[in-house]
Amino acid sequence: MPDSVNQTPTPAVGSILLASTDPDRLRAWYEQAFNVRADADGFLQFGDVGVLIDGRDDVTDRNPQPARVIINLHVHDAHATVKHLDSLGVTWLAELEYRAAAGLWFATVIDPDGNYVQIIEVTPAYRAAKRAQAGQGILQASAVSTRIPAQDLDRARRFYADKLGLHPAEERPGGLRYHCAKGSFALFASAGRPSGEHTQMAFEVDDIDAVVEQLRSRGVVFEHVDVPGLRTTNAIAEVAGNYPSTGAIGERAAWFRDSEGNLLGIGQPLYAGGSN
């Protein structure tokens, strides 16, 4: 096994390209079927993975081997999803059924191009069985999301929009939820004040110099740090060490405060040889 310092990070599946002779029709079907809208680049975002439906002239009108690649969509309520799809008059390859041995609800729908889309609902029984197999604690299988306090939620909303270019994906009384390329965070109304003495949330970027320059142009003020072992130069510091699974040997980092005094960080991993 090579030394972890010389390993590159494990690739992540960022997107799936779904080819079609009629991409507009197929894209409209997915938007209506799963209540998702294409972003500015044409991607339908399903969690962390985007689906790009693109027109090609080297494919057939119908997929001749739909079982070769199947899109699995994990939903919170399989029955509600199936009911909605039924209202659209879809064709089912497999009706919804509960597979007790797996602790999962399954159904397979056929899209207009003949591709198979599998609807899966993961149940508490499934998660409990997985935790038991791995000897994990009860929270090991949970999703994690950062919470950031705001004494003035409207002021915080303006800061995140005007300074960071971030807009809430959804909101509720006293809370705003934001989605990034990976992960999410929420701002919540709070009478308490953050200490501002430690990093409360961090964004990982590919080019920290460009990000710092852009945020500065929006009026973001970066922290100057000068403590033993850590010093910022032009707002950016080099931090030694990283987690072995990342393949990185360190990171470049910068910090700033939001309108509520929360200390936020930006990091860019450093790899052996200088490549990202």
For CATH 3.10.180.10, list the domain ranges present in the chain: 4-134, 146-274
Could you tell me the fold of the domain covering 4-134?
2,3-Dihydroxybiphenyl 1,2-Dioxygenase; domain 1 (3.10.180)
Reduced DSSP (H G I as helix, E B as strand, rest coil) percent helix, strand, coil of the chain, to 5: 20, 35, 45
For residues 239 and 252, is the Cβ–Cβ distance under 8 A?
yes
Question: Which of the residue ranges 55-59, 156-160, 181-185, 243-247 would you say has the lowest mean pLDDT?
Answer: 243-247
Q: Given this model, what pLDDT does residue 276 score?
A: 57
Burial bucket for residue 119 (CB in 10 Å: 0-12, 13-18, 19+): buried
CATH class of 146-274: alpha beta
Q: Which residues contact 137 (CB under 8 A, 6 or more apart)?
A: 131
Q: Given this model, what pLDDT does residue 193 score?
A: 79
Distances in Å between the alpha carbon of 166 and those of 14, 19, 172? 21, 31, 17
Encode pLDDT of 33-61 as tens digits. 999 998 888 899 998 899 999 999 999 99
Does the pTM surpass 0.95? The reply is no
CA 180 to chain centroid, in Å, comes to: 6
